[in-house]
Chain A
């Protein structure tokens, strides 16, 4: 039988990852430092912003600015629309079931504090256990210690191995009938380890224990689907995902958020107030007291549009190649020890160089226009686990190039020659 000529099979179009074209979207990447082009490798601290995000902030303040959820006037309606549109974008980005599960906060730190305050103080009692891991950022340690000191809960820590991987056997062993919450990071900011969150959530759920996942280092680099993970809380910071500072997201399952008391009191979070009694609003507004960072939310929406426009799968694939190349090159430097060599890793390269303190390395690289982080990365227990006071950390984004990895390597070799 002859194939009708009208039917044509078109092969799927796979666009190459044009990093040079994407770099043009980020004006700050044109910066020169000491006459040398900036090599920005501090993306785990904060990411740079594309023009689309910068424009969205200007546009909001130029054309839409008013307070939200209150005014009857034109601009208030526009601002409210823009703010709630951003919430819709976040819902789609995380594939949350409902918009009311998306609470705008200042960042991942505030989101964890919100859960510790509202969920923790309300539902946890003396002797109850919160299980965290040995690779947490201080933001997922300190709020629980504060709750421990206030409520007498017990904080337990799942240890990690020499590669920086979570000991899942220990995780299972530590789960017990007193465990009332598991709170763990999706991706370690100091080690790059990607935790098998879906499996860990399933293990905790088997015993009816809710799970909080800190996604600050995951969301910029991979697809995150909160329904597929089935976690109970998830949070991230806007500024690490190419959005503005001062805005972040708490995702919480509706069933949990509905049962939780407010975090802060004030305007916006109420249904009615008399001096005798206040009725609180439903989620998400119950947790958004005061005028929110409206422009920040709008900017975050623009950032998520930008990232999904490129494609998170393509970003992840490209960053994986960069990471592989950088890992191999760093391992080739004599005296260099990578801290964090998990099998599943995101683009974070923490390392120490024999005879050269990370601080000195950071200064030498800075003179070359290369921005890295040197220090404990707000993860002092991780540093203690690996017996180092600090590490140097290069962290990748999709706008980094293979040439930039070369420059990093040469910078390290220069520092080594000069200082060791």
Chain B
């Protein structure tokens, strides 16, 4: 039986109550919007991309505890990473929460993000956990909007 404590782990509750990077970075040069029409969750993700490197990242939006915590922890884990590193981290995270590919990555690869492993038991919540990541990918793959720096 799925256990709520697996889903709402302490670190997730902590990030949902006090999200990190929940503001627009000063030098943001890229914006991507994520929206889940099913539940109304939305996120505006701002990146400061310096060539291939994510120098800074922040978000604004409204959503459930899982989507807020995921946005907060995603931003904290990709700052300073390259585009390629961030995208492969998303792949690992995606496999973790969907339980796809069977060989879920070892928690050490994902660090704190491993706390989202409980999401596999709650399939309807996978979209909440991955919204911020999908939005990040859109931004990194150039599908987001460029922000005027003026």
Contacts and interface: CB of A to CB of B under 8 A. Distances in A.
A415 to B, nearest CB: 9
Contacts of B2: 367
Interface string A355-376: 0111110011001000000111
A390 interface: yes
B4 A375 contact: no
Give the secondary structure class of B's interface: mixed
A364 to B, nearest CB: 6
Interface string A29-51: 00000110000000000000000
B40 A419 contact: no
A418 B40 contact: no
Interface string B41-56: 1100000000000000
Contact of A389 (B1, B4, B13, B40): B40
A383 B125 contact: no
Given A389-B62, A419-B65, A364 B39 contact: no
Given A360-B64, A389-B62, A419-B65, A375 B39 contact: yes
Given A360-B65, A419-B65, A367 B4 contact: yes
B40 A380 contact: yes
Contact of B64 (A35, A357, A380, A418): A357
A357 B124 CA distance: 15
Interface centre among B7, B13, B39, B128 (most CB of A within 10 A): B39
A376 B66 CA distance: 18
Interface in B1-28: 1-2, 4, 7-8, 13, 16
Interface residues of B, number: 22
Contact of A375 (B40, B42, B125): B40
A34 to B, nearest CB: 6
A364 B4 CA distance: 7
Contacts of B7: 363
B41 A389 contact: yes
5 contacts: A35-B1, A360-B64, A363-B124, A363-B125, A390-B40
B122 A374 contact: no
A360 B66 contact: yes
Interface in A353-409: 356-360, 363-364, 367, 374-376, 380, 383, 389-390
A360 B40 CA distance: 13
A364 B41 CA distance: 18
B65 A357 contact: yes
A383 B41 CA distance: 13
Given A375-B38, A376-B40, A34 B64 contact: no
Contacts of A363: 4, 7, 122, 124-125
B99 to A, nearest CB: 17
A88 to B, nearest CB: 40
Contacts of B8: 360, 418-419
A330 B41 CA distance: 25
Nearest to A367: B4
A35 B2 CA distance: 12
Given A357-B63, A360-B66, A367-B2, A419 B39 contact: no
Nearest to A391: B40
A389 B8 CA distance: 21
B1 A359 contact: no
Nearest to B65: A360
Contacts of A34: 1
A35 B16 CA distance: 30
Contacts of B62: 389
A356 B62 CA distance: 12
Contacts of A375: 38-40
Contacts of A357: 63-65, 68
Interface string B61-74: 01111101000000
Q: Which 9 A-B pairs have the closest CB atoms?
A: A359-B64, A357-B64, A389-B40, A390-B40, A360-B65, A389-B62, A375-B39, A376-B40, A360-B64
Given A363-B125, A383-B40, A419-B65, 6 more contacts: A357-B68, A358-B64, A359-B64, A376-B39, A389-B63, A419-B16
A228 B42 CA distance: 45
